[in-house]
Amino acid sequence: MGTMSEVVTSRPPAFEKKATTSQIPLSDKQKANTCSDQQNTQCSEKCDPNSSLQPVESFGPYFRLIPMSGQVKELQTIIRDKNTSRSDFKFYADRLIRLVVEEGLNQLPYSDLTITTPTGCQYKGLQFVKGNCGVSIVRSGEAMEQGLRSCCRSIRLGKILVESDLDTHEAKVVYAKFPEDISQRKVLLMYPIMSSGNTVIKAVNVLQEHAVDEANIILLNLFSTPAAARTITNAFPKMHILTSEVHPVAPNHFGQKYFGTD
């Protein structure tokens, strides 16, 4: 059967300047301790994958926003603008995708690794724990694959196709293809726009049918409505979800604009 299994089916106030401890001369020992404390704090901040993420309390502890900045807001604005050309849309969408993917990779497990530098020094660093894969929900989810590939060139990818029934409008899984050992992997599930949450729920159900633990799924998303966020977090409270914005109006034209089918 090969290596793959298949199934069909979001001017500080002026203060009076006062003397601070930094203005008081320190002994050499105090200076050393202060420097050590600062280094420990910086290391803790860098190594904590959730330190920069913004939790959305109403949707549970595992639903988070990437850090908001002027750059992120501009990208969101360009993507939502009806006057944005397709070439600009794709360019700026890829930039936002990359930001979300980079934050998503911070949620994966790391292990300690000591290497030797070209000068012969020992350096204590980190490396990814093997056993991760990406799964895109076709078709709009495929727009996020290149962003993931740009960060992890050798990562395995799977796909899920979910379509809505023309009569009942119920989402159903038509096709799914995964690495055969997906149950033993961390899964980066990619779907850029969540309006109702039904498509994601169907996709996660298929992953669970393949013995993927809910806690091992990290959903990478660009835009979500509050209704979709609530629906998905109620259904899968242990699943990690990362998005750039939660807004009542989602840019549902994303897939058509990105792939030029509008």
- Between strands 193-194 and 63-65, the pairing is unpaired
- Segment 175-197, tens digit of pLDDT: 999 999 999 999 999 999 999 99
Are the CB atoms for 140 and 255 separated by under 8 Å? yes
C-alpha 222/C-alpha 230 separation (Å) is 16
pLDDT score, position 123? 96
What's the pLDDT at 27? Answer: 53
Q: Which long-range contacts (CB under 8 A, 24 or more apart) does 44-50 make?
A: 47/126, 49/106, 49/107, 50/106, 50/107
3-state helix, strand, coil in the chain (%, to 5): 40, 25, 35
Note whether 216 and 108 are within 8 A (CB). Answer: no
Q: What is the distance, to the nearest Å, from the Cα of residue 116 to the centroid of all Cα atoms in its chain?
A: 31
**Domains of the chain: total:** 1
Pair 186, 216: CB distance under 8 Å? yes
CATH number of the domain encompassing residue 73: 3.40.50.2020
**CA max distance for the chain:** 78
* Residue among 60, 63, 93 nearest 75 (CA): 93
| Regions in the chain scoring below 50 on pLDDT | 1-3, 5-24, 29-46
Phi/psi of residue 5, nearest 5 degrees: -105, 145
Q: 243 lies in which domain range?
A: 2-259
Say what the pLDDT of residue 163 is.
Answer: 86
pLDDT at 56: 74
* Closest to 101 measured CA to CA, from 157, 59, 178, 176: 157
pLDDT for 113 equals: 95
